[in-house]
Amino acid sequence: MGSTRFLLIDDHALFRSGIAMVLTAGLKDIEILEAATIEEALRCPGEAFDLLLLDVQLQGLNGLEGMALLKRKWPEAKIVVVSALADSEAVREALERGAHRFISKAQTPDAMLEIIRALLNDHSATSEGAPLASATAVRSTKLTPRQCEVLDLLCQGLPNKMIGRRLNLSENTIRGHVQAIFVALQVSSRSEAAFMSRRLGLVS
């Protein structure tokens, strides 16, 4: 089996070097290419990449605008947006445009590696993380049926106001359910809740 190929797209050379060090230390048999812009990335050799790590704020075409071009050139590659812009709007737009995951630059190296490993393993039953997807793990989250409904809509990228309209509940009530979901899943953001709920098999 060949090496896992990464393409790091970030206009800060120091940050690219830091991520490359984290990946090299935490993963085996990997090959890492780097680019400072979308244009430079698209000039990389056409061989397939397994994972693209993409910043939003780039010179020229930004990461969100360039995502369609990257997907066209490497349709099999998974895209992880890694950005200092971690507000809910940025996360939602990245996921809507086809990113598989949004990672804040404030995340720890271990958390970043865990997310990347899960993506590379496709959350498959044969991966080392499989016990997390067991029925016991799902039950341990202790979500109510209503919270499961809220979580499903949250994972579709809907804001609290739209979730409230769908479920005939006030925005304030939805906000309370979302906070309860965060506590149950031990996460601190909507993107993390979506990621963890998929990993636990709570949503498809």
Residues in a beta bridge with 8: 34, 53
Q: What are the tokens at 168?
A: 């005939």
Query: Which residue pairs, CB below 8 angstroms and at least 24 apart, start in 86-94?
Result: 86/189, 88/159, 88/189, 88/190, 90/56, 91/189, 91/190, 91/191, 92/157, 92/159, 92/190, 93/64, 94/56, 94/63, 94/64, 94/67
User: Residue-wise pLDDT tens for the chain (204 aa)?
Assistant: 578 999 999 999 999 999 999 999 999 999 999 999 999 999 987 678 999 999 988 988 888 889 999 999 999 999 999 888 766 677 778 888 888 888 888 778 888 888 888 888 864 333 333 333 333 444 445 688 899 999 999 999 999 999 999 999 999 999 999 988 887 777 778 888 888 887 777 876
Nearest 5°: the CA angle 194, 17, 70 is 55
In what order do the strands lie in the sheet containing 51-54? 30-35, 4-9, 51-54, 78-83, 101-104
Choosing among 1.10.3300.10, 3.80.10.10, 3.30.70.20, 3.40.50.2300, the CATH entry for 4-120 is 3.40.50.2300
Question: Considering the entire predicted model, what is its pTM?
Answer: 0.60
Residue spans per domain, the chain = 4-120, 130-199
pLDDT at site 138: 41
Beta strands in 18-163 (DSSP E): 30-35, 51-54, 78-83, 101-104
Q: What is the CATH number assigned to the segment(s) 130-199?
A: 1.10.10.10
Which residues contact residue 95 at a Cβ distance below 8 angstroms, ignoring those fewer than 6 apart? Answer: 102, 157, 191, 194
